[in-house]
Amino acid sequence: MIYIMRSERVLKRPPVLRIRPFQPVIPTSRKQQDVWTECHSLSCMARYSRIMRAAGRYIAKHPRYTSVVMRPSLSKHYNLLRGHSIMRLEDILKKIETSRDDMISDMMAMIRIPAIGPLNGGKGEGLRADKVTEFLKGYDSIERVDVKDIHEPTVLRPNILAKKKGKGKGTVWIISHLDTVLPGDLDEWKTPPYEPVVKDGRIYGLGTEDNGQAVISSIYASKFFDRGTLTRKSIGLAIVADEETTSTMGIEHLINAGLFGPDDVFIVPDWGVPGGTMVAVAEKHLIWLKFAIEGKQTHGSTPQKGLNAYRVSAKLLVDVMDRLEKKYPDNDQLFRPQVSTFEPTKSIATVGNINTIPGYHEFCLDIRLLPSYDPDDLVAFAKEVGAEWEKRTGAKITVSVEQRTRSGKPSDISGPEFLALRDSISSVVGKEPETVGVGGGTCANFFRLAGYNAYVWQTGGGSLHQPNEYCELSNLISDAKVFATLFHKLCV
Ligand SMILES: [Zn+2]
């Protein structure tokens, strides 16, 4: 029989492994040849490893023992052994499940406060950030980094960093964003975008899926870990501004300010598929181009006296899309979709009445280019096409770059952090996730560009940037459970 007691005296006793008195934990069989351990989380494994090594040394000296068997259910006994109480993962998951109503009311309180960047005509995320800070209780530190808006200096863009400190190096960060896109055509909304409604297991409202789901799920995932109980990495929430436009005053600012380090782990829940079965580990380059066409306005009956900018614009648009698709045809299996995409998106209104030929028009392309291509090369090509059409039509054509974001190196998928994430997802959603590359535009790319690994995961509902955006309550809860599991694996 082997006993493990709470101190170093441990293995001096004769042969039954026990954790704290009279709690037999290790059935031993003389027939078993292996030292076998099974633990439901990495954290248990790490904590048990010292005991296991000691037990291993012990049984090495005592030939009648051939195995040590340690069961997952022992974590709570191990906590006794450490002399302080650490909540079991099961208890935390249960608490998350029973917090459904609180999660709904926090989400609704947040959604009622608009959070649109000045570039999209809004007043920023300040008021929403204040509200979200009210939800953060029991953290060791809550830091707020407000950054002056470049376009509208009277607006401060708020970033919240909340931490529960661990004794080890590094922090497991969940990065979510406060801002939303514009609601678009209000007539398309069945319920008003800022008046959230709970219906059929969903919360409807602007920003519920993108990115309210991540804000709320990460808060509830970290809420039930008691302060002072984290023996390894810290838990960190970064709830940031300016994701939907530039990220300059959001995550990029925080990275440049040196607030993150090489031992940190970055999870960005800002993209996902239904069922949560995909983790994005790479992104495409993102390029936003604006084509401005200047012709000459004239009366609808006398087109020969002017130059219809709208007509030139339409022809140019079709031509440029065709030629971009031909010039950049690569297919990469990692990505969804596998090809580069060239989509016309924003365009301006032309003239107020049907009998005026417009003298000016502009349209924008949203381009997601596979990382194998050079975005600068594409911009030069688009400008060439513009110059060709300028020559051909006599209109003045300007091609400008509204945004250009290079994609960083795909994130590592063999290290312990990724495996912990993968296992956390599998244990909650019941299926091992696939790794993929996506069209891009999340905070994760800024981490990749800075040389870190970042993983994009959440359970997607597919309604983001659309009227009647909603968040599935079941996704909100299961995302929180996945993040809690991950915290438990890497921080406890
Ligand atoms: Zn988003």
% pLDDT > 70, the chain: 83
Summarised one tens digit per residue, pLDDT across range 427-455 is 999 999 999 998 877 889 999 999 999 99
Phi, psi at residue 31, to the nearest 5°?
A: -85, -25
What is the dihedral angle through the alpha carbons of 233, 441, 405, 236, rounded to the nearest 10 degrees?
Answer: -20
248-268: b or e for each residue (b if 16 or more CB lie within 10 Å)? Answer: bbbbbbbbeeebbeeebbbbb
Could you list the residue range(s) of the whole structural domain that residue 385 is in?
285-405
Tell whether 236 is covered by a domain.
Answer: yes
Q: Calculate what percentage of the chain has a pLDDT beyond 90.
A: 73
**179 & 274 share domain:** yes
454 neighbors 268 (Cβ within 8 angstroms): yes
- In this structure, the answer to whether residues 121 and 146 fall within a common structural domain is yes
Q: Is the pLDDT of residue 181 over 50?
A: yes
**Looking at the domain assignment, is residue 455 inside a domain?**
yes
How remote is the CA of residue 91 from the centroid of ligand 1, in Å? 30
| Count: domains in the chain | 3
| More confident of the two residues 107 and 85 | 107
As a whole number of angstroms, the distance between CA 54 and CA 67 comes to 13
- Both tokens of 45, joined, read 């494994």
pLDDT of residue 143: 86
What does 91-160 look like in DSSP terms, one character per residue? Answer: HHHHHHHTTHHHHHHHHHHHHTS--B-GGGT--BSHHHHHHHHHH--S-SEEEEEEEE-SS-TT-EEEEE
Together in a domain, 179 and 271: yes
pLDDT at 147: 87
- Give domain status of residue 315, yes or no: yes
203 alpha carbon to ligand 1 midpoint, in Å? 17
| CATH code assigned at 412 | 3.40.630.10
- How far, CA to CA in Å, does 399 sit from each of 294, 315, 326, 382? 12, 15, 20, 7
Clarify whether residues 109 and 226 are in a common domain.
yes
In a domain, 223, yes or no: yes
Q: How far apart are CA 65 and CA 30, in angstroms?
A: 6
Same domain, yes or no: 104 and 226: yes
pLDDT in tens, 405-430: 899 989 999 999 999 999 999 999 99
What is the CA(194)–ligand 1 centre distance, in A?
17
CA of residue 289 to ligand 1 center, whole Å: 21
Distance CA 159, CA 133 (A): 10
Same domain membership, residue 255 and residue 108: yes
Give the domain CATH number at 384: 3.30.70.360
Average pLDDT over residues 127-146: 91
Distance 109 CA to ligand 1 centre (A): 19
**38 touches 52 (CB < 8 A):** no
Q: How far is the CA of 473 from the centre of ligand 1 (A)?
A: 18
> Among all residues, which ones are annotated catalytic?
179, 243
Q: Is residue 150 part of a domain?
A: yes
Sheet containing 156-164: which strands, arranged edge to edge?
Answer: 141-148, 156-164, 234-240, 171-177, 265-268, 454-456, 278-283, 434-438, 335-336
pLDDT in the model for residue 369: 96
pLDDT of residue 63: 57
- Residue 3 in any domain: the answer is no
pLDDT for 68 equals 44
pLDDT of residue 60: 61
- Give residue 318 CA to ligand 1 midpoint distance, Å: 29
Distance from C-alpha of 320 to C-alpha of 180, rounded to nearest angstrom: 30
Is residue 156 within 8 Å of residue 188, measured between CB atoms? no
C-alpha span between 439 and 441 (Å, rounded): 7
- pLDDT surpasses 90 at 370: yes
Q: Could you tell me which residues are beta bridge partners of residue 397?
A: 293
Most confident of 19-28, 58-67, 180-189: 180-189
What confidence score (pLDDT) does residue 59 get?
53
Instruction: Please identify, among 405, 422, 445, the residue that sits at the C-terminal boundary of a domain.
Output: 405
Cα–ligand 1 centroid distance for 179 (angstroms): 8
- Which residue matches tokens 């998951």? 93
The pLDDT confidence band at residue 70, using thresholds 50, 70 and 90, is very low
Domain end (from 405, 422, 444): 405
Q: Give dist(CA 327, CA 340) in Å, integer.
A: 10
Q: Mean per-residue pLDDT for 250-261? A: 93
Pair 273, 297 in one domain: no
Could you tell me if 269 and 417 lie in one domain? Answer: yes
Domain co-membership, 219 together with 298: no
Shared domain for 243 and 127, answered yes or no, is: yes
pLDDT in tens, 45-57: 344 455 555 655 6
Cα gap 377→283, rounded to integer Å? 18
- Name the pTM for this structure: 0.71
- Last residue of one domain, picked from the residues 405, 428, 452: 405
- Judge whether 257 lies within some domain: yes
What are the tens digits of pLDDT across the range 371-391?
A: 989 999 999 999 999 999 999
Residue 108: Cβ-neighbour burial (10 angstroms; 0-12, 13-18, 19+): middle
Judge residue 278's burial from the number of C-beta atoms within 10 Å of its C-beta, 0-12 exposed, 13-18 middle, 19 or more buried.
buried
**Residue 26 contacts residue 2 (beta carbons within 8 Å):** yes
Q: Measuring CA to CA, how many Å separate 163 from each of 140, 142, 173, 223?
A: 6, 6, 9, 11
Average confidence (pLDDT) over 160-185: 96
Q: Order of strands across the sheet with 197-199? A: 197-199, 202-204, 470-472
Name the residue among 145, 152, 84 with its Cα closest to residue 117: 152
347, β-bridge pairs: 363
451 lies in the same domain as 322: no
- Asked if residue 442 belongs to a domain, the reply is yes
Residue with the two structure tokens 């993108």: 210
Q: Quick one: pLDDT at residue 86?
A: 56
One domain for residues 295 and 356: yes
In this prediction, residue 29 has a pLDDT band, given cuts at 50, 70 and 90, of very low
